Structure 1
Amino acid sequence: MRIPLLVTLDQHYLPQLRVLLTSIYLNHPVQVFDVYLIHRQIPGESLKKLSEDCARLDFRLIPIRADGETFRSAKVTDRYPREMYYRLLAGEWLPHDLDKILYLDPDILVINSLNALWEMDLRGYLFAAAAHTGKTEMANSVNKIRLKTNTDYFNSGVLLINLEEARKEIVPDELFHFVEDNPMALLLPDQDVLNALYGSRILSLDDARWNYDARNYSNYLLRSGGKENLEWVMENTSILHFCGKDKPWKKNYRRRFGSLYRHYMSLTERYLQNDV
């Protein structure tokens, strides 16, 4: 069985996508993946090189150019780029024989198997996602008030998407109208839209396993009573997410897990010799 993955990005994040895919490959020795890339205008030569990289990993790349006609009524600006809508509207472009897909942000390392996440039963839910509640409950409470929701504030960087239900329930024009009508409420537009419109339709995941916020090691350690130390993370966490503006591929990154990310950068160059 091939597991379908969804990524949505522009050409500037192709180097990080290569690291993500290499980390998936190295932690799934017998599993293969189909990589669906929804994009607007990545050059053909870059897509060709990425396809060759995927083939080296025994993955298959399926690039999909998002149809501009879908966005005829969308608010599209620098703050609200088309790309912010892609993961929520993926069912518009993905093959209809796909009934679910796993979306991952490119600033992620996969350090253990994704199989248990992929096999989760999504019946009755649109998405599965994790909330980063460990850093401060106040932020979680503020987001509930700001967006008028009664669920935790889910991170949109890892989503198991029920495509069958999404095609029925997510109407592009309704999504676009919500963005148009709530310009002051949306601080993180793509994530805010997910929570405001679909928060009650999300199956909650354990973030320590499936969307570990790499900035918050001390908080995870504290809330687990010391259980979730580095050894625990390396053995139990599957998805390590480098949230925020400080990124581990930048030279001045000094946070925990930076060395692990740079190790995977080196492994990427070993397995994928040509540059994207």
Structure 2
Amino acid sequence: MCKEGFTTRPNLRVNTFISEMVAQFRQSAQQKASSSSSEQQVSKPGEVPCDVCTGTKLKALKSCLVCLVSYCETHLEPHLTMSGLKRHQLIDPVENLEGRMCTKHDKPLELFCKTDQTCVCILCTVLDHKMHDVVPLKEEYEGKKAELGKKEAEIQQMIQKRRLKIQEIKHSVDLSEEDADREIAEGVQVFTSLKESVERGLKELINTIKEKQKTTEKQAEAFIKELEQEISELMKRSTEAVTPDTLSNASEVLVSAETPESCRCVFWPEPKSQPQ
């Protein structure tokens, strides 16, 4: 403390020693805040961001049901140190804090009315939901969570059963396809053998008919040739034949009228009908 006396008010001067201490203190505080902020995680999609952070939003550590604000580690410090803010109710960070407050009584929705299946505040249980079955919200949450977990397990079990059924059906289809391919191959083999047998039988039948035709043609040619020879001999005899006027007696007519042995007709057999 300065004990020097002055008759007039002196001009104020900056205490360089205290000024330097304040500057160092501010610099240290800024470095500490900067280091603390860098260590905290930046809010990612799906996470609750700090409502106080400007610029880059850090991940909220707690939400205040009185302030209806979510705080990161840095901005939460006053609620942990100041006596007036220590009385505020802090919960794990959640979004839409306004929706967690009773619109009628402006109190946190900390209870659940099973009768009306709705969230209520402490005043609701005394007024509007009197004599209703009311339990703590956390208790109802745990019960619902367990129930949903059981339903989820049942659903997953049903999904697994259906997946196994799908695998069985696919396996059955694969086996059916293999059987179909095998039956097709066997059918093709049978019909191919049958086709070859029919073609072979048809070829043999055609060859047999052709051979018969050739034999018939040869026989016909032989008969035709023999008949043509007989015709030639008959025509020759016809030119040399005597008339009744040139004969001296009736015996010569009778002798000359006899049919020579070489002029007898050869009969061609009727063709046989082919089998249908």
Shorter chain as denominator, the TM-score bin is under 0.3
Q: TM-score with structure 1 length normalisation?
A: 0.21
Tell which has more relative contact order, 1 or 2 (C-alpha 8 A, sep 6+). 1
Greater fraction of residues in strand: 1
Name the structure with the higher helix share. 2
